[in-house]
Structure 1
Amino acid sequence: MILGWAIIMHPVISSLVITVWIGLMLLLFGLLYIFVSFSVKRLVKEA
């Protein structure tokens, strides 16, 4: 409830929250991509 009020009251805070959330999601996808590519390379080497 407080977060919703803050977003309605402060566009700057809402844009900041959205930016941080997108940044975290991109970081998560980047780490996932690195992990998957690393695993695939290892599997290819073993096979």
Structure 2
Amino acid sequence: MTALSEAERFARFRLARTDRVGPVAFSQLLQRFGAAERALDALPDLIR
């Protein structure tokens, strides 16, 4: 397993604390986008 960068760890924390993102959605977003940073960037478009 590869160690996460500080930025990715922080992004995962932010994503996990986002309204309407529970454990299942969190896992699905990581799988779909490959990184929490990319998932966070896409959230505004996904929520609409």
Common fold: TM-score over 0.5: no
Higher fraction of helix: 1
Larger CA Rg, structure 1 vs 2: 1
Q: TM-score, normalised by structure 1?
A: 0.32
Q: TM-score, normalised by structure 2?
A: 0.31
